[in-house]
Structure 1
Amino acid sequence: MEWKTRRLASASVAVAAATALVAGCASGDGGSTSGASGDTLTLWTHNAGNSAELDVVKKIISDFNSSQDTYKVKLQAFPQNDYNSSVVAAASARKLPCLLDVDGPNVANWAWGGYLAPIDVADSEVPLSDQLPSTVGRYQNKVYGFGFYDVALTHFARKSVLKEHGIRIPTIEKPWTRAEFDAALAKLKESGKFDYPLEMGTGGSGEWWSYAYSPQLQSFGGDLMDRDGYEAASGTLDSEKSVEWATWFRSLVSKGYISKKSGADPNKDFLAGKSAIQWDGSWNAAKNADKLGDDLAIIPPVDFGNGPKIGGASWQWAMSSSCSNKEGAQAWLKFSRQNKYFVDYAKATGTLPATDTAAQQIDGYEPGGKFNDLVEFARKFAEVRPVTPAYPYVSTEFEKAAKDILAGADPKDALGRAAKDIDTNLKTNNYYAG
């Protein structure tokens, strides 16, 4: 099936909005329908509002342009909230740039939709085999993208608070069990010292819900869908183990352990002592360490019965299928794969370096460093979200169901509805075959 006849699985992009965005994209640097004008290639990134990461992108582009006189890369940055819809609209109008970044869970959808072309970076300075598996985007046994970093979910707490309440500080080798975790929350609640014993970031939206909570679902023994062929959610998302997770998830609200909708800055609330334990990301590790020093506990995910789990995959670089200068695009991709840029990204963004070599050059992330456990979490516990073009739709349905459950919906009914809707989407799209 030709790429232009396919539809993005996500239901979040409206036709009217896409039409408006096409007009906007056509007037930008990506005016060529091929993504290149002669030997000048356009690059799109989602980092318009993230100056630290954008500066690294600019540095790589500047270094590449100065290193040779065959190709020139031009940058166009978008705000993250607008980025995905801009790409979808541009793809519909055949106006994608040659180079673009893509959120890891969307790689399969964009590859299936014909937005992306496979890449070959085999002779780069940093081999793909040296990277954390979650930082390489594959679909149907082909590489479509790679990232310079990942992030890891973790529990943050104060060691002094846990000690005061007789709560064991878990380790990678011996994480909390469900029983231990529930008992800890009960003790912290009973103390009356916190607005909520646990901060789970329930005020967030979008991909946070699948990223933050589906690993807990997986640790219970459930999943977002059947990964054997990716042809059904029924029987998996609404399975007994998935319902068990959802019932527990809802109990966190009913027992007063978490807020049904947390505040605008959950990490700030944690640092202010409003919560005792926070389920958060590695991006706040340095800030928390600066504030709490040696009192900060970086805690692995809970083992709810099927091993500790966290989400894997972050932003990755890719090449569009419509690029008329793929040789130039791959030259930039290969050039970017230098160890120094892996280091630059991690230092600028506070993320986990995608290679061990880079980690050894970043204070705190080297073996034995105060943040090295986060790298180990990513290596040992990370589960990529379902590698299927259906994923954006799956994620949207899971978010709806999880929010309904926290609001009081019957867990089995909410998950059952989501599973049926996902199955319908799969069938409508011929199970994303081809």
Structure 2
Amino acid sequence: MPAPVRAAMRRRTFLGAAASVGAAAVPLFSGCAHRRTGEDSRPLRFQSLAWQAESVAANKALVAEWNRLHPRTPVQYVQGAWPTVHDQLLTAFEGGEAPDIIHDASDDLADFAYGGRLADLTPLLPDRLATDIPEHSLRTATFGGRLYGVPFLQEPRVLIANRELLRAASGVRVPTPEDPWSWPEFRAAAKKLSQGRQGARYGVAWPLKEPVSATLNLALSTGGRLFHRRADGRAEVRFGAADEVVPRTIHDQVNVDGSAARTTLGMGGSDTLPGFFAGRYAMVPLGFSYRQQIVQQAPKGFDWTVLPAPADGVPVQGVSPQTLSIAADCPRKEAAMAFIAFLLEPANMARLALGDWMLPTGTTALRDPRLRARTYGWATGTALAGSLHAAPAQSVRGYPEWKDKIATPGLQEYYSGAIGMAELRGRLVEDGNLVLARYQR
């Protein structure tokens, strides 16, 4: 755990009680409840970004359970949406209408944290969560030595593969979490899984409508980082040989080998599933949670498996965990943290992970037998949990603008073959650093 967080843990006096989820937690806020008037008397608003039916049901059920156990500190469930959350929060913060408890992703927190919009959770985090959530996960939401979100769900990127086609391919070994494909080996496997230059079957379909996070997070497996800190603490973009491996592999699969479908570059992950089920693509790199859609939509008898993403050297990939934060303007931060602690009790965290088909960050929840079953690839996912580290852009101010205005169009054009590597590098580095400089003056 970051040293400032550890120090604050030693200074804390009330958090052991705050983490309790039973009736014993009620007296903690009973005095506060009698004193609350006006705006402070309203329920705490919890904005959730859960969207899958199972996940929404789990979140709402836990809110209802909290309200039954803690009638003096009720929580109101508010539905948010991933595609609009950043702009919605900007507007809400400006208007003084931000939710008290905020569900987001760690790579979206930096500007809000540095801008004073989020509460410093360092002195509030219960000991149980501080010790149960690994340090590398806590670091994803730590900015300037202070914690601004509690990471609770994470999603490795995996290869969803047609098991029948994989078995039939000559000379293609099946990778494991302990021995994944290298990137050259993955490229060779995609060639062997392809059938016909005109795309009768492609070895892989890359759904890259949103190409930035996939590219950056997978690049950690080759030693790429892209974002670096200068001696003065400012972030800058550098695009070296290690950063080139992943984008060059994807580019060459599409434009040189013909083993990756060009038409999927503008697709989201769900858009590729009909072609995958039809045997048009042998593999699709997807987030771990897409398994739910596959279970729901796959034709009867369709045989699929979950493989680890490629990696050169030590398997590692970047993730931006889902987080729970508290607004800086929240009048009852201790009560808000007590609710977060309740949501993230090991059994509840496992429940949320199962509802979202993702992995919990907590080591206790991760031991839940349901998350380690071989069915639907759960065991492969849990085996990858230790290889998940903070995405390179986590603490970079200006990253959302860099991603939207520079990296997304640049990568899309490169993957399609419209520009070369030199042009891509120039955009990401030269144009990108101009964007970041505005946020670091």
TM-score bucket (shorter structure): 0.7 to 0.9
184-193 or 151-160: bigger deviation: 184-193
Q: Which has the higher helix share?
A: 2
SS in 1 for 2:365: helix
**Contact 2:190 2:202 (8 Å CA) reproduced:** no
Q: Does 1:428 align with 2:430?
A: no
**Contact 1:360 1:367 (8 Å CA) reproduced:** no
In the alignment, structure 1 segments of 5+ residues that lack a partner are 1-33
| Residue-by-residue CA offset, 1:258-279 (whole Å, 9 max, x unaligned) | 2234156213322221101111
Structure 2 Cα separation of the partners of residues 223 and 402 of structure 1? 16
Q: Does 1:284 align with 2:287?
A: no
Structure 1 Cα separation of the partners of residues 331 and 262 of structure 2? 49
**Contact 1:53 1:348 (8 Å CA) reproduced:** yes
Question: Of 312, 315, 320, which aligns to 2:322?
Answer: 315
SS in 1 for 2:225: coil
**Equivalent residue number for residue 30 of structure 1:** none
Q: Does 1:398 align with 2:400?
A: no
C-alpha change, 1:383 and 1:228, in structure 2 (3 Å) is farther
Instruction: Give me the identity figure in percent.
Output: 18
Q: Does 1:144 align with 2:154?
A: no
**Equivalent residue number for residue 159 of structure 1:** 163
Question: Of 29, 35, 47, which aligns to 1:45?
Answer: 47
**Equivalent residue number for residue 280 of structure 2:** 274
**Contact 1:134 1:313 (8 Å CA) reproduced:** no
**Equivalent residue number for residue 195 of structure 1:** 201
| Residue-by-residue CA offset, 1:283-335 (whole Å, 9 max, x unaligned) | 133554685889533211212x4543433123211101111222322232233
**Equivalent residue number for residue 81 of structure 1:** 83
Q: Does 1:299 align with 2:307?
A: yes
In the alignment, structure 2 segments of 5+ residues that lack a partner are 1-35
C-alpha change, 1:194 and 1:419, in structure 2 (3 Å) is same
Amino acid at match of 2:420: D
C-alpha change, 1:281 and 1:293, in structure 2 (3 Å) is farther
Report the Cα offset of residue 345 of structure 1: 0.5
Number of paired residues? Answer: 389
Structure 2 Cα separation of the partners of residues 80 and 267 of structure 1? 21
Report the Cα offset of residue 162 of structure 1: 2.2
Report the Cα offset of residue 201 of structure 1: 0.8
Q: Does 1:176 align with 2:181?
A: yes
SS in 2 for 1:176: coil
Q: Does 1:231 align with 2:234?
A: yes
1:338-353 pair list within 5 angstroms: 338-353=345-360
Amino acid at match of 2:163: K
Amino acid at match of 1:377: L
Two-structure CA RMSD over aligned residues (Å) = 3.0
Report the Cα offset of residue 375 of structure 1: 1.8
**Contact 1:160 1:295 (8 Å CA) reproduced:** yes
**Contact 1:99 1:318 (8 Å CA) reproduced:** yes
Report the Cα offset of residue 347 of structure 1: 2.1
**Contact 2:86 2:108 (8 Å CA) reproduced:** no
| Residue-by-residue CA offset, 1:28-66 (whole Å, 9 max, x unaligned) | xxxxxx9x8223244242537544323222223222222
Structure 1 Cα separation of the partners of residues 183 and 143 of structure 2? 34
